Structure 1
């Protein structure tokens, strides 16, 4: 077998679905018609990934409103004026604000997994949002009759249910998206907010057995939206030691877009956690030019100078379109990049004598 290689999550949506989403928002098509477009996009995404030979597939998050907000779908106790996330190019994303308790997930990831498994013959990976990101919904001035500690207790219960539902539903692995980890160091350079995030996520992870945690991974990146990032200017070295304190069996680490990957790899090698596998990013999703298999091979071989092959895997740095309205990368470019990752990882595996 080759070194393991996995997608992170989102794939750009086909034009037919994007048009259908706009028509639905304008009242032009029914809920059922939109559901059929979602279903078709999931089926096509999985078919293309499997045709490329991807050993693990995802649904491409075709029917998620975003990687971060899917649990909120269907909730009525939210206001529009939540935390604002600024990106380097000046655009922003705004989260909702919780207006009343109790907090419950409106949608669980197992809903998406069930659809994907209808069409997949390869193992299916399920991405979920980390509870630390969802914690940003709670307003700084609190909610009368619903203290923050009660909110966090409810959040931990729901986040556990989200992960457990995916594991029990047959997911090959479950990936916690933790893009807010690096961002937290921009919001609070002291690291206090990051410590809170790590502690909260571990409250959830500690509810799983060691065997279950081997199927749970954590993804970190500086955000990738509309060809921009929210925290690439934050020193990665400040994040990684604390990141590896998360009780997970796999880590998906953005690396292709780092200006000094060797420096990052030295830190990873020095802090390599337990028996966890490190999937290094070998594809930069917001670079408009598709990498070549040779570039990917060389990135893998660089990583192999620092990390043992039996602890190494490859991935994309981030998802390609983590928000439903992001059209900055074409579907064709995304699949070209994925092909390069698969072929380059296989070439590196041959040189390393893996498999």
Structure 2
């Protein structure tokens, strides 16, 4: 397929894995047993994606409790009372708070990548958390003996190492999850917070050469958790000019759920640089209604009215279950939406002659 299509990352966990996670938390299942269930879930996820014709796969984040906090799994310098992220339906997610330094990742995304590659026969992409999200771990009142600048220096080093290890392990692309971009505009309409996020992420991205940055992407959406969002009420146009200032080669944009996609696409066309490939969201994981291939085709054709087809790709708006306890979408619904995305993208490619 000349028009590329990729999943974003997370997929609903298998029922067996969800039961195993509960058993592990209750002390009824040891770590080895949980590892076996996670490996089985990764194998099943990749097999299902490949059976649906997905030319690129992910592990569905079956081994991660959260897309945002995997580097912290096993870290002991944390308290539970960190930044709170409110969602439109009233539920919240809370990040931990860093209590000491130096800051180091306890896990690397490349470990998940290598585990997935053992089961895949097509290229595997790897999602990583953007350093800007992890910068929220540092408390506003500081840490004695470990100032914010020292923390950010450590964070940049760790984020670079996380991305580089995944590239070196053969990731098709490494995708930075940057869902906090739109949220930053909501928290600070002056965009000072957003600009600081972009600057921090670019400190990391600038450590890679142009060929490497062509394999590094950025995903943005207004959050997607338990069928709710944290910043969909923020005008996309307030984010996009700054988003494309990120020194990445690929961008994955939530678009299927936007009420005025043409307006968004005009903004994208005005601000995206010529060397940047744009993957547009054509399926909405939050909407329980499964898109048809024809709907997906038409969404791609609309995007092609604003961007050259050779710079286009398709994706889902966001992950289906970024947090491991999100049960709002079934695996079967996710598979149906993936099928629609793959088949609809092929229909659009045929219509566009690419």
TM-score, normalisation: structure 2: 1.00
For 1:233-312, list aligned pairs within 5 A: 233-312=233-312
Does the residue aligned with 1:278 lie in a helix, a strand or coil?
A: strand
- 1:315 aligned residue: 315
Does the residue aligned with 2:16 lie in a helix, a strand or coil?
A: helix
**1:2 CA drift (Å):** 3.0
**1:273 CA drift (Å):** 1.4
Does the residue aligned with 1:208 lie in a helix, a strand or coil?
A: coil
- 1:149 aligned residue: 149
Does the residue aligned with 1:119 lie in a helix, a strand or coil?
A: coil
**1:72 CA drift (Å):** 0.2
- 2:118 aligned residue: 118
For 1:165-244, list aligned pairs within 5 A: 165-244=165-244
- 2:96 aligned residue: 96
The unaligned stretches of length 5 or more in structure 2 are: none
1:140-189 Cα shifts (integer Å, max 9, x gaps)? 00000000000000000000000000000110100000000000001101
**1:272 CA drift (Å):** 2.0
1:84-136 Cα shifts (integer Å, max 9, x gaps)? 00000000000000001110000000110010000001000000000000000
In structure 1, C-alpha distance between the alignment counterparts of 2:244 and 2:198, rounded to whole Å: 9
In structure 2, C-alpha distance between the alignment counterparts of 1:95 and 1:285, rounded to whole Å: 23
In structure 2, C-alpha distance between the alignment counterparts of 1:14 and 1:138, rounded to whole Å: 34
In structure 1, C-alpha distance between the alignment counterparts of 2:184 and 2:272, rounded to whole Å: 22
Does the residue aligned with 1:128 lie in a helix, a strand or coil?
A: strand
The unaligned stretches of length 5 or more in structure 1 are: none
Native 8 Å contact 1:277 1:311 kept in 2: yes
- 1:28 aligned residue: 28
Number of residues paired by the alignment? 354
In structure 2, C-alpha distance between the alignment counterparts of 1:70 and 1:311, rounded to whole Å: 31
Does the residue aligned with 2:118 lie in a helix, a strand or coil?
A: helix
In structure 1, C-alpha distance between the alignment counterparts of 2:24 and 2:171, rounded to whole Å: 30
**1:69 CA drift (Å):** 0.2
- 1:4 aligned residue: 4
1:57-102 Cα shifts (integer Å, max 9, x gaps)? 0000001010000000110000000000000000000000000111
- 2:139 aligned residue: 139
In structure 2, C-alpha distance between the alignment counterparts of 1:20 and 1:273, rounded to whole Å: 46
Does the residue aligned with 1:247 lie in a helix, a strand or coil?
A: coil
In structure 2, C-alpha distance between the alignment counterparts of 1:235 and 1:204, rounded to whole Å: 27
- 1:324 aligned residue: 324
Native 8 Å contact 1:292 1:340 kept in 2: yes
Q: Alignment RMSD, CA only?
A: 0.5
Does the residue aligned with 2:159 lie in a helix, a strand or coil?
A: helix
For 1:49-64, list aligned pairs within 5 A: 49-64=49-64
Does the residue aligned with 1:282 lie in a helix, a strand or coil?
A: strand
- 1:17 aligned residue: 17
Does the residue aligned with 2:146 lie in a helix, a strand or coil?
A: coil
Native 8 Å contact 1:2 1:345 kept in 2: no
Native 8 Å contact 1:281 1:314 kept in 2: yes
In structure 1, C-alpha distance between the alignment counterparts of 2:76 and 2:30, rounded to whole Å: 21
In structure 2, C-alpha distance between the alignment counterparts of 1:168 and 1:291, rounded to whole Å: 36
- 1:75 aligned residue: 75
1:127 and 2:127 aligned: yes
- 1:351 aligned residue: 351
**1:242 CA drift (Å):** 0.4
**1:274 CA drift (Å):** 3.3
TM-score, normalisation: structure 1: 0.99
Does the residue aligned with 2:239 lie in a helix, a strand or coil?
A: helix
